[in-house]
Chain A
Amino acid sequence: MSAIAVARQRTLRVLRDERFLRALGQAVFAIAVVLFVAWCLSNYRDRGLTFTFRFLREEASFDLAEGMAFSPVDPYWKAFIVGLLNTIKVAFFGIIMATILGTVTGVARLSRNWLISNIAGVYIEIIRNTPVLVQLFFLYFAVILKFPSLEDRIVLPGPIFISIRGINLTWPRPTESFAYWLPFLIGAVIVAVGIYAWRVLLERRTRRPVSRLPWTFIALAVPLLGWFLVPGNPLYPDRPAVEGLKVVGGTSLSPEFAAILFGLVIYTAAFIAEVVRAGIMAVPRGQTEAARAQGFTEMQILQLVILPQALRIIIPPLISQYLNLTKNSSLAIAIAFLDLYAVSSTMLNQSGRVVEVFLMIMAAYLSMSLTISVLMNYVNRRLAPVER
């Protein structure tokens, strides 16, 4: 065999080697991606565009009416923070309220009561089969913006004022003696943790199911006791009142905030309801019956048998509903609530820094998504049963 033939055969062997083909394919793909990105960047440069975050320190020269105090002379980065905090506010309260409403609806859907179950069913179907933006538009333009003027406001007990200016609530505010009461609040947390730990230990030692959560409520006695020991009242109710054309006192939800918060809660709760229902239904009936046969009380069955198993199924889809709620809060821009996204798009229009602002938006949403998944995955791991 000639040297050439040997060399050719060796080349052929290399060419037919799967490992070589894999490496080659990946290299070609990587080069193609790099070339494409380079092409994009050169087009970007050809337009005479630059890339810098220096504009963040410049004066924003627009006003923000929602959230943290902000004036037009403040820099852009502060505007971004205001928007971010507004988004977090919506996401935080939204997640809590949607979880409560969703759980109640999900349990109602499973109720033996035909009417209750069907009311929940109709609510879930209507909400799930229409876009969230249509619901938001309806809530904001057709309901909240049609609220009566401040003069003809609706007054609910509390007092709560509902008017075109938004919702005004009574709000507890600390007085001077609050500082004396604070140690009692911290004490309550310590006592609650202590009681919980004691109950867990008791359960381990006696090897018998022991109820834990109801017992921790004993800790509430500590701040209650403190309330009477502290001179004066540590909190007083700050009630809203109308003075001329303004509402003073209390705390207020702007119409936009109310619309985005309630809109997202109503929407997400319908999805959470389905998640909860599926989770509960996935626990076999035999589990309940077996626990009852062993003499567990109904409360113990729920706490020790049904919930641990149902939660395991519920938590992963619940995480994605929380993520959806957070991401959907960006729809606030459609109803002029100044969330992260709306503020950023004003920044973008004023400064013309399209790419920079978008990178900031994406970074903010990605880190929020990541935070929620990490937190919830931690909860999920804690709840996971110990495998044999």
Chain B
Amino acid sequence: MTTATEVMKPPRTEVGVLGWLKKNLFGTWYDALLTVGSVAFISVVLYGVTNWALTGAKWGVVTTNIKVFMVGRYPYSEIWRIWASIGLFAVMAAITGVVWRLNIARARRAVTISWIVVSLLTVVLLAGFGENTPIPRVPLAIWSGLMLTLTLGIVGIVASFPIGVLLALGRRSNLPVIKVFSTMFIEIVRGVPLITVLFIAMLMLPLFLPASISGRLSNVLRVMVGMTLFSAAYVAENVRGGLQAIPKGQYEAGRAVGLNEAYVMALIVLPQALRAMIPAIVGQFISLYKDTSLVVIVGLLDLLGIAKAVTGQTEWIGTQKEVFAFAGVIYFITCSALSYASRRLEKQLGVGER
């Protein structure tokens, strides 16, 4: 017998487009019903949104005010300084990427140090010096728009991290005074809304400082203090979770090889705890970044504050939909980028793997 065995093809309804449709959309009669309903829902929403975006919406309010959205009241003649800062960061990011990709171990420390230098340089560049210098002073109080949002986010993240770690260590400490202090701080801050913390920083803080100091604190600075302390309490809880996950044997082994408690913490326990908690901490940072929008309630002009101010312009009455949708899209893009980056970081550090 030479006839080849007939290869039986799978049923037409199980593979290809038809199979996919059957499996994913029309599995059962109620599945089919749901699918039809969803298609109707999607078409109505899509039609409504595109129709509005293409014909009804006055996007002029966004294009005319784009500079205001981005930098707010930052003097327009000085905008090159912002571009220069963005350029610096882009170059640094590129260098970092190359160094990490090629795994040049020696360059890593140099890259870390230059990140710090570049960051300080940017602050100086953006804030400037006195009157008659090439880069005149732009006080923090007039920083606004997306620039303020990013500044608040970055400062909050950078400053709240070390404070959060200290608080977490304090809460786990066996020194009762420090433990009670840290626990009370964390629990009180986590129990009240961010708004109260911001208002306390704005209104109450100055009352408890001598007039000479509180007079010099700009609103932006006060808000930064409030946001940092607020976020630190949440970071502390995340770090504490990480610390609890480290087996006791790690401490004991560290002590056994003769390290004192501080070294055990700094060299053995903390690095492992932080690595395990990266997803949670990044999630906390993303929510801190989103929470910067709350400063609009205490009267600061961040991206959302500018958006609200723009809707009040007489020539753009009734454009709330366009303006808030635009602000939402910017937040969406930045937040998605952050969470994408965190997923990459997790993968690279092999969180969850051993």
Contact = CB atoms under 8 A, between A and B. Distances in A.
Contacts of B25: 113-115
B175 A22 contact: yes
A264 B257 CA distance: 53
B217 interface: no
A142 B57 CA distance: 12
User: Which of B27, B177, B211 neighbours the largest number of chain A CB atoms within 10 Å of its CB?
Assistant: B177
Given A40-B209, A142-B321, A327-B193, 15 more contacts: A26-B176, A29-B178, A43-B209, A49-B207, A119-B38, A119-B42, A126-B332, A129-B339, A138-B320, A138-B328, A141-B324, A330-B195, A341-B196, A355-B207, A361-B192
Contact of B193 (A46, A111, A135, A328): A328
B275 interface: no
A116 B292 CA distance: 33
Contacts of B321: 138, 142-143, 146
B219 interface: no
A138 B177 contact: no
Interface of A: 22, 25-27, 29-30, 33, 40-41, 43-44, 46-47, 49, 111-116, 119, 125-126, 128-135, 137-138, 141-143, 145-146, 327-328, 330-331, 333-334, 341, 345, 348, 354-355, 358, 361-362, 365-366, 369-370
**Interface SS, A side:** helix
Contact of A112 (B31, B211, B294): B31
Interface in B258-310: 290-294, 296-297, 304, 307-308
A129 B195 contact: no
A358 B208 contact: no
B324 A41 contact: no
B34 A362 contact: no
Contact of B304 (A26, A41, A133, A330): A133
Interface stretch (B160-168, B197-205, B343-351): B197-205
A188 to B, nearest CB: 32
A334 B192 CA distance: 17
B291 A26 contact: no
Contacts of B304: 131, 133-134, 137
The 7 closest A-B pairs by CB, nearest first: A40-B208, A114-B24, A26-B177, A327-B193, A142-B320, A129-B335, A330-B193
Interface string B8-19: 000000000000
B46 to A, nearest CB: 11
B249 to A, nearest CB: 22
A35 to B, nearest CB: 13
B208 A44 contact: yes
A333 to B, nearest CB: 6
A266 B192 CA distance: 22
Contacts of B112: none
A370 B191 contact: yes
A356 B218 CA distance: 24
A130 B331 contact: yes
B221 interface: no
